Structure 1
Amino acid sequence: MAEQLSVEQNLTKSEKKKIIFLMCSVLLFSVMNGTMFMIAVPDIATSFSLLPSQVSWVVTGYIILYAIGALMYGKLADIYPLKTLLTIGLSLFAAGSILGFFSPNFLMVVFSRMIQAMGASSIVALAFIVPSRYFPEEKGRVLGIVSSTMAFASGIGPVIGGFVAGALNWQFLFLISALVLITIPFFRIWMPEEEKKEGKVDILGAVFIAIAVAALILFITLFTWWYILISIMFFSLFAWRIFNSDNPFIRPDLFRNAPYRTTIIAGFFAIMTMFGMMFMMPLMLSEVNGLNTLFIGLTLFPGAMAAAFMGRWAGILTDKRGSKQVVFIAFALMIIGFFLLSTFIGSPAWVISIVIIISYIAFPFIQTATANLISTVLPRNEIGVGMGVYNLFNFMSGAFGGAVIGKILDYETDMKLNPFSISQDHEIIYSNVFIGLVVLTILNGFFFYFAFKKLRV
């Protein structure tokens, strides 16, 4: 605690601004790296004459290591200096990017993407820890800036990815990410000096949870049933390990913390609906509105810009009103936004571009509030691993939401769940899915409210 306060007190206003600027700069590249390559998947398949199941590893392999890495770096942050972890992570991210640009075959492309993920995951993991460690008095505001950066990067990624892949070649997307190499000297100079803390990492526990998470994500994305059996087996081994090790990878007490557990569950379903919406919109704009990749990106861009702008206000509100109130604001925005999208499916693209702004704005509100709440309800020495688990659940919820909605969209129906919807024919299924997201968000809101009311927190 004394070390935490000394770091906070020794940072000048100028140094704080430099750290925030650096973190948001590399976070922009980390998030963009995922969305840019999703756009480029068809071009990669054409370049190497691949089937969809084969080329999907460009995304699937990245997601698996990104999710696992976010958890691992979170745990390591409780022991090692953030400066050291960021130097390692950024170096791996840049190395994977440079290797990817010169990759002669698809196997090397996938390998490069995995190295990228091993590095890029450090950025998103530590971006949520920096506010709690260095800016405890204004962490809500800083978390708002972090969340708005992620929202902006999610929106600008498809636009840049579509433009670069169309004008040059998909391999040049690797060069964009390689620019993070420039930031390493600045992190070495500007990040505060910290001492290594006591503790060590339970390697066996880390291996168990890594295999369990990898198998679970593979099951979610591929729907191959034996992956879920592997996942259950290794989650069981991990549970056995944390109860029988003197120094477990994650202490069981973390999951006994009721406010933390409630926030993780509510955040999982909230982020699942948000990522489900983000997954569905490009499909809908392509199928219903007939837009190409570039125009899909441009249609979604105003929403991303609005989310980036509102992220700052989400942070300010979190500091002033408290995390729980901001969570309810996010739920309200999600319900209104999903209902309006359900109603206007089938409208011209410019109408969708305006309507989707409300849903996008909810993203920084829910992410800022839940991250801030977690940093408040956890002991300071568990914030790193707690945030790691939070990020892990976020990535898994995104994969789960996309997989489930993808299966639902395969079906046809002529029954409208929304009586105000203007959708017709196959458009109806999109409208109905958004009504499903409305219902899920309402149920999630009730769960969050009554859980915290019972806890009296």
Structure 2
Amino acid sequence: MTESTTQAAIDPFEDPETRNKMAIRALIFLLITFILGTLCIQGFNLVFQQVGKDVGAVQQASLITALPSIVLGIVCFIYGSLGDFVSLKKLVVMGLTVLFIGSIFGFVANFFFTANLWTVIIARVLQTAGEQVAGSAYLVITTKYLKPSLKVIFFGIFTAGYQVSAAIGVFAAGLLGSISWQYLFLIPAVTIFFIPVLLRCLPDNSGNGEKVDWVGFTIFGAATMFLTLFFSYSNWWLCIVAIAMYAMFGVYISKAKNPFVTPAFFKNTRWIMAISLILIFYFTNYCMSPIFNAICRDVFGITSSATVSMHIVWAFLVAAVFGTSSGAIVDKIGRQTTMIIAACLMIAGFAGCAFIISSGIIPLTLMACVFYAGAGLMYSPVVSTVLGTLPNEQSGRGVGMNDLVMSVTASIGISIFGGLMSSDSLAGGSLTGAVGRQAVYSNLLLIAAGVALLGLVVFLVFHKKIYAEK
């Protein structure tokens, strides 16, 4: 073998001097892919009720958001966990291909043919499953390959990218909702052209070479799917099946020779306490935008999605600013103080919206900005806190579990809140003095503030144990 051949065979990720440079190049294109994919998620979050009306399925409209969110949670976990076992190049190529197929199918099936609830959902499921590979690969590379001083910064950039995509998404949804929401499907299709660049920048190997435990992935993913469907349909048999499959998963990992995750993973009490923070804080992650949209429609009489998006977009931009700054803020005041401030901002934003619900769209927008400032500030410290409770060799599974919990808890939250939004069960009155439809939205916002308050209480109770040395 010649010297040049030997050098060509060397993985640049093995060289500390080039590792950060290669990782950052890959992260740029992964972030763009993630932004474009998330743009669709947030766009459909804003207009899912309009889509439901257009396809003649108003009562099932929340499924347009809920079912792709279920898939998002499952593939988040699978993609992140697979980062400990197989090549990221294979995952990225597969993900971007699925994203492209979903984009083209969604547009063609719903634009050139009669729009249908299930063609919308199938396309959104494919898009969601495909785009998340970029997010998971980004987090795995950040956790495994960047030097410690850059990790918190790139976590902050990631959440900033999420919020920027959300801002563009609601703006695009407002604009295209007035023209044809089907065009939303086409936005991330361009990412198929990123594959050649990513193949050059991603590491050849990103795992330990062990055989992938597809049986374990399948059981755990199916259990999560049935659990989330229970909250969407409220059929108890779905809950029973979920519990049975989780029990089966517990028995499986205790007996299997090489499960992808061992029982010891779940016995890490520091991790359990830390992941509970994501479970609580992100329960209402998808709720502000549709509630804001509903208030504008039913309280202020604003029926134009474009007009609504011109206001809520500022909240997402605020979140992007705070997300970008979160790394520097954490370096200055620490993760614990940052998380407390972020939680207080989320509480104040939700509660503030509840109490000024009839004051006008400008005050409502300002309070939404307060909430999203907290949401943007929260991501970097909470994710780094959770991953800090795990050894480096489990970082991929940690990323996967973070994404799973974040997505599933948000999908459960939007299913519950979406159902309550479309009913009058909370219309009897509110602590804020609101009545009728105003009371519905005011009470939902107060409940959301209570969820964020619960997260803050849990953090204050367990923070010393979470940050304790192993």
What TM-score does the superposition give when structure 2 sets the normalisation length?
0.88
- Which shifted more, 141-150 or 116-125? 116-125
| Secondary structure of 1:182's aligned partner | helix
Consecutive unaligned residues of structure 1, counting only runs of 5 or more, are none
| Secondary structure of 1:302's aligned partner | helix
Structure 2 counterpart of 1:59: 65
Assess if the C-alpha contact under 8 Å between 2:349 and 2:367 holds in 1: yes
Structure 2 counterpart of 1:73: 79
Query: Displacement of 1:43 after TM fit?
Result: 5.6
- Which shifted more, 384-393 or 311-320? 311-320
Residues 1:343 and 2:355 aligned together: yes
Distance 1:55 1:426 in 2: 19
Assess if the C-alpha contact under 8 Å between 1:96 and 1:115 holds in 2: yes
Query: Displacement of 1:8 after TM fit?
Result: 4.7
1:220-244 deviations in Å (ceiling 9; x for gaps): 1222222111111111111111111
1:374-423 deviations in Å (ceiling 9; x for gaps): 222211111111111111111121122223334545324565435xx7x4
Structure 2 counterpart of 1:9: 17
Distance 1:53 1:339 in 2: 27
Assess if the C-alpha contact under 8 Å between 2:296 and 2:308 holds in 1: yes
Distance 1:53 1:352 in 2: 27
Assess if the C-alpha contact under 8 Å between 2:389 and 2:466 holds in 1: no
Structure 1 counterpart of 2:217: 206
Please point out which of 281, 305, 326 is paired with 1:270. Answer: 281
Residues 1:128 and 2:142 aligned together: no
Distance 1:127 1:77 in 2: 10
Q: Residues 343 and 264 from structure 1, CA distance in 2 versus in 1: closer, same or farther, beyond 3 angstroms?
A: same
Q: Residues 350 and 71 from structure 1, CA distance in 2 versus in 1: closer, same or farther, beyond 3 angstroms?
A: same
- Which shifted more, 176-185 or 187-196? 187-196
1:280-332 deviations in Å (ceiling 9; x for gaps): 22222222122222222122111101111111211222344433232112112
Structure 1 counterpart of 2:394: 382
Distance 1:23 1:96 in 2: 18
Structure 2 counterpart of 1:166: 178
Amino acid paired to 1:341: C
Residues 1:362 and 2:374 aligned together: yes
Residues 1:35 and 2:42 aligned together: yes
Amino acid paired to 1:440: V
Structure 2 counterpart of 1:219: 230
Q: Residues 123 and 334 from structure 1, CA distance in 2 versus in 1: closer, same or farther, beyond 3 angstroms?
A: same
Q: Residues 59 and 439 from structure 1, CA distance in 2 versus in 1: closer, same or farther, beyond 3 angstroms?
A: closer
Distance 1:357 1:455 in 2: 30
Amino acid paired to 2:362: W
Structure 1 counterpart of 2:31: 24
| Secondary structure of 1:161's aligned partner | helix
Assess if the C-alpha contact under 8 Å between 1:259 and 1:452 holds in 2: no
Distance 1:441 1:122 in 2: 29
Q: Residues 368 and 355 from structure 1, CA distance in 2 versus in 1: closer, same or farther, beyond 3 angstroms?
A: same
Q: Residues 91 and 407 from structure 1, CA distance in 2 versus in 1: closer, same or farther, beyond 3 angstroms?
A: closer
Please point out which of 98, 107, 117 is paired with 1:101. Answer: 107
Structure 2 counterpart of 1:50: 56
1:110-145 deviations in Å (ceiling 9; x for gaps): 433332232122122223222112223211010000
| Secondary structure of 1:426's aligned partner | helix
Structure 1 counterpart of 2:344: 332
Distance 2:446 2:186 in 1: 41
Query: Displacement of 1:456 after TM fit?
Result: 5.8
Amino acid paired to 2:25: K
Assess if the C-alpha contact under 8 Å between 2:30 and 2:135 holds in 1: no
Distance 2:427 2:57 in 1: 29
Distance 2:15 2:98 in 1: 27
Distance 1:453 1:12 in 2: 32
| Secondary structure of 2:36's aligned partner | helix
Query: Displacement of 1:4 after TM fit?
Result: 11
Query: Displacement of 1:21 after TM fit?
Result: 2.2
1:331-373 deviations in Å (ceiling 9; x for gaps): 1211222232222111111221122111001112221111111
Amino acid paired to 2:381: A
Distance 1:265 1:362 in 2: 18
Assess if the C-alpha contact under 8 Å between 2:34 and 2:132 holds in 1: no
Distance 2:71 2:396 in 1: 18
Assess if the C-alpha contact under 8 Å between 2:31 and 2:135 holds in 1: no
Distance 2:351 2:59 in 1: 34
Structure 2 counterpart of 1:250: 261
Structure 1 counterpart of 2:166: 154
Amino acid paired to 1:10: T
- Which shifted more, 57-66 or 141-150? 57-66
Amino acid paired to 2:410: G
Amino acid paired to 2:74: I
1:418-453 deviations in Å (ceiling 9; x for gaps): 5xx7x4553234333333333333332222122132
Query: Displacement of 1:164 after TM fit?
Result: 2.3
Assess if the C-alpha contact under 8 Å between 1:68 and 1:214 holds in 2: yes
- Which shifted more, 409-418 or 97-106? 409-418
Distance 2:464 2:12 in 1: 31
Q: Residues 323 and 340 from structure 1, CA distance in 2 versus in 1: closer, same or farther, beyond 3 angstroms?
A: same
Give % identity: 22
| Secondary structure of 1:128's aligned partner | helix
1:19-76 deviations in Å (ceiling 9; x for gaps): 33212211111211212234454565566x5323566554343222222111111111
Consecutive unaligned residues of structure 2, counting only runs of 5 or more, are 1-10
Distance 1:455 1:120 in 2: 32
Amino acid paired to 2:184: L
Assess if the C-alpha contact under 8 Å between 1:4 and 1:133 holds in 2: no
Q: CA RMSD in A?
A: 2.5
Residues 1:287 and 2:298 aligned together: yes
Distance 1:407 1:41 in 2: 13
